[in-house]
Amino acid sequence: MTAEELQSLIAAGLPCEHISVEGDGRHWFATIVSADFEGMRPIARHQRVYATLGERMKTDEVHALSMKTFTPTEYAKNQ
């Protein structure tokens, strides 16, 4: 899997204002900005992203994914 493919999978299942993905093909890091995260705790945000990947997380197609998740307001404050 490529970074572009992983980014597309996440974006297909979650409306994102911004998304960037980096990694080596097995270990990934993503920064994801979505209004859908509003009112969610960090663990719920991560679960929401994992849900977009479904079986790919269980079959090791995506071995490891660490992420930073932000609402648009949070992201604007951190820039």
> First CA to last CA across the chain, in angstroms?
29
Q: What is the pLDDT of residues 34-49, one digit of tens each?
A: 999 999 999 999 999 9
Q: Across the strands, what pairs with 70?
A: 33
pTM of the model: 0.91
- For 3-71, CATH number out of 3.30.750.24, 3.30.300.90, 3.40.50.970, 1.10.3720.10 equals 3.30.300.90
Q: What is the pLDDT of residues 11-40, one digit of tens each?
A: 999 999 999 999 988 889 999 999 999 999
Placement of tokens 């269980």 in the chain = 58
Cβ–Cβ under 8 Å, residues 53 and 35: no
Burial of 31 (0-12, 13-18, 19+ CB in 10 A): middle
Domain parsing of the chain, residue ranges: 3-71
